[in-house]
Structure 1
Amino acid sequence: MIRPFGIQEFWFIILAVQWTIALSAAAFAGGAVGGLVVALARVSKYRLLCLPALGFIRLFQGTPLLMQLFLTYFGLQIIGFGVSPWVAAALALTVHAAAFLGEIWRGCIQAVPEGQSEASWALGLSYFDRMKSVILPQAARIALAPTVGFLVQLIKGTSLASIIGFVELMRAAQIMNNATYSPLKVYGLVTIIYFCLCWPLSVYARRMEGHYAALATR
């Protein structure tokens, strides 16, 4: 039976936003840790570290996120690891984020002038101290804008988790549309919500790009 789109349906969609935010936060946090490891491996002079990191990036950047979600959810179940849609979505998005953030941050680390590394070696700093105190703080400034830009893409990418049954914003919209048959109201509301989540971050990323571009010209 088709029911009208009312306040209960509205709040069902609004409350689903928390799961979109939670999934985005979990994937970004895990991806940041993995991405830093991947980035440091990519800039390493040791091929034993560099080549696996490069293969990891090419694999997960070169395959669709939707396929990664399918393989994580159904693949783990086939081999005997029954996981919930939440765990599968968080794991797939974390690995996806690690691959992209690793490559973003690799470029930012290599964008730090080579003279900074040479000066740190001349001061006798160890590799750990050189990265922690000299290279990574400068790379973080360069990386801020593209990292925020990727976060925007990650938030939108969480909508694909609906395909494995995780009830985030898009899945909640599908449920309400099937119940009310009011696609304009349902998906119009979801569009506005995604815009409110992503637009401020996009503006912030552009401002950071302009700010650091201005600093670079001084």
Structure 2
Amino acid sequence: MLGHLNGNHLEFLLHGALWTIALSLLALFGGGLLGFLVALCRVSPSRTVRLATKAYVQLIQGTPLLVIMFVTYFGLPTIGITISPLTAAAASLTLNVSAYLGEIWCGAIESVPKPQWEAAECLALTRTQRMFKVILPQALRIATPPTVGFTVQIIKNTSLASVVGFVELARSGQIINNSIFQPFLVYLIIAVIYFALCYPISRLSRLLERRTGFARTIKLEAN
């Protein structure tokens, strides 16, 4: 006999949504830190560093996030490293996010007009001083809209964490549907929750684009 959706099921879905938000924040924070390092390395004066970082970006962007999660969660135990589903999901998303944010921020840095670089150099500032006092403050304004927009991709990509057993929003819906067998209703509610999470961020991104005058020139595809 089929079950019926009730308050307990909705509470379970909302609990999964909270884990989706938490996982998104972990990925954004970890990927942001690593992505910032990637961006700086991409504009490094060292050709070796630039090439190594470019290879890293191409490797991560060219590998589906699903595969990265499988390698992290199922592959590492074969060499004696066992991690929890949350750690595996967060680490995989961090790697994925770092590659994309690194490219976004690298593009923002390189978009700063050349005369700004030259003016900073004329002030006899070191490269580090030029970067942090002159270039990065301007690059931040350019990078903000696409960074906010990319957050939507991070939220949607957390749904892949279900493949390693992490119970976020999508996995919560799976579990509930296996119990009551009402896929249309369950996944419709999940879609509404994802929309409620992502739509305000998309609107904010477009608002920032208009206010800053910078359009999103980097097209990002979901893995």
- Aligned positions of 1:137-216 closer than 5 A: 137-213=137-213
Q: How far apart, CA to CA, are the structure 1 residues paired with 2:169 and 2:154?
A: 14
Counterpart residue identity of residue 24, structure 1: S
Q: How far apart, CA to CA, are the structure 2 residues paired with 1:96 and 1:83?
A: 18
Q: How far apart, CA to CA, are the structure 2 residues paired with 1:129 and 1:45?
A: 15
1:66 aligned partner: 66
1:83 aligned partner: 83
2:20 aligned partner: 20
Runs of 4 or more off by more than 6 Å in structure 1? none
Q: In structure 1, the residue corresponding to 2:94 is in which secondary structure?
A: helix
Counterpart residue identity of residue 172, structure 1: S
Q: How far apart, CA to CA, are the structure 2 residues paired with 1:79 and 1:3?
A: 43
1:129 aligned partner: 129
In the alignment, does 2:96 pair up with 1:99? no
Q: In structure 2, the residue corresponding to 1:90 is in which secondary structure?
A: helix
Q: CA deviation at 1:173?
A: 0.4
Q: In structure 2, the residue corresponding to 1:34 is in which secondary structure?
A: helix
Q: How far apart, CA to CA, are the structure 2 residues paired with 1:155 and 1:52?
A: 29
Q: CA deviation at 1:3?
A: 2.3
Q: How far apart, CA to CA, are the structure 1 residues paired with 2:177 and 2:197?
A: 21
Same amino acid, percent of matched pairs = 49
Q: How far apart, CA to CA, are the structure 2 residues paired with 1:182 and 1:7?
A: 15
Give a deviation string over 1:184-216, Cα, whole Å, max 9, x none: 2211110010001000000000011111118xx
Counterpart residue identity of residue 100, structure 2: F
2:49 aligned partner: 49
More deviation, 81-90/41-50: 41-50
Q: How far apart, CA to CA, are the structure 2 residues paired with 1:78 and 1:4?
A: 42
Q: How far apart, CA to CA, are the structure 2 residues paired with 1:190 and 1:134?
A: 44
Counterpart residue identity of residue 9, structure 1: H
Counterpart residue identity of residue 16, structure 1: G
Q: How far apart, CA to CA, are the structure 1 residues paired with 2:78 and 2:13?
A: 32
Counterpart residue identity of residue 7, structure 2: I
Give a deviation string over 1:122-175, Cα, whole Å, max 9, x none: 101111111111100100100011101111001000000001110000000000
Q: How far apart, CA to CA, are the structure 1 residues paired with 2:90 and 2:153?
A: 15
The alignment of Structure 1 onto Structure 2 pairs a total of residues equal to 214
Counterpart residue identity of residue 121, structure 1: E
Counterpart residue identity of residue 55, structure 1: A
Q: How far apart, CA to CA, are the structure 2 residues paired with 1:10 and 1:46?
A: 54
Q: In structure 2, the residue corresponding to 1:28 is in which secondary structure?
A: helix
Q: How far apart, CA to CA, are the structure 1 residues paired with 2:23 and 2:16?
A: 11
* Unmatched tracts of structure 1, length 5 or more: none
Counterpart residue identity of residue 151, structure 2: L
2:3 aligned partner: 3
Compute the TM-score of the two structures, normalised by the length of structure 1.
0.96
Q: How far apart, CA to CA, are the structure 2 residues paired with 1:27 and 1:2?
A: 38
